[in-house]
Amino acid sequence: MEIGRTLWAAMMPEGYTGRGFGIFADFTDRYGNRVSVHESSLASEPCVWISCDVTEATAESYKSAGVVPSAHLTVDMARRVRDALTEFIESPKVLVYYPFGD
């Protein structure tokens, strides 16, 4: 019984949006930008957003360098994104839609 509860808890999102969609990761990257992995509200199939909300200072430096704003991740941060995507892929909503992992 305890093992089942532990496994289920491990698959739960970190939190939820105001509309009730799962937030699988939400953290600050190496340059202070907010990175999040959260469930989409798309009704036709399960999808996930990977967002990087850059700070004003970072946006200016990217703009002057001609670079597209992106998350700058350490190895541990990259693992966190990987784990968040794995949780989304293995969530009950996705498994119902893609029961054989297609």
Q: Is 52 exposed, middle or buried (0-12, 13-18, 19+ CB in 10 A)?
A: middle
What value does the mean pLDDT of the chain take? Answer: 83
What is the pLDDT at residue 9?
A: 42
The DSSP code sequence of 33-102 is: -EEEEEE---SSS--EEEEEE--HHHHHHHHHHT--------HHHHHHHHHHHHHHHTSHHHHHHSTT--
Q: pLDDT tens digit string along 10-58?
A: 457 889 999 999 999 999 999 899 999 999 999 888 899 999 998 888 8
